[in-house]
Structure 1
Amino acid sequence: DIRVALHLAGTPIGPNDTAIAGHAIAAGAVLVTNNVREFARVPGLTLEDWVI
């Protein structure tokens, strides 16, 4: 569970971001976001930052 893993690591993210990350992982999707700092903590999540 994403929430538990991040909590145990001492790097939790918000509940909405947890749901978004979980959905992206389950769908095998790349998450496009400008909030890379927070989502980068989620193991197994593929990110794309289009704000660069």
Structure 2
Amino acid sequence: MADTPDGIADLTPGELRAIELFEMAGFDVELLETPEPPVVVPLVRRRGHVA
């Protein structure tokens, strides 16, 4: 299909059905790019300060 949006192959059957229902209800549906997951920086715990 020439007008198939990129990324639609990655959607679950439930997500595809939800898009179909929104379109049938008259909503304009636009697929957005999935953002990269956030980078998790480990928390460095420091021991108590000794003076």
Comparing both structures, which one devotes a greater share of its residues to strand? 1
Comparing both structures, which one devotes a greater share of its residues to helix? 1
TM value normalised by structure 2: 0.36
Structure with larger Rg: 2
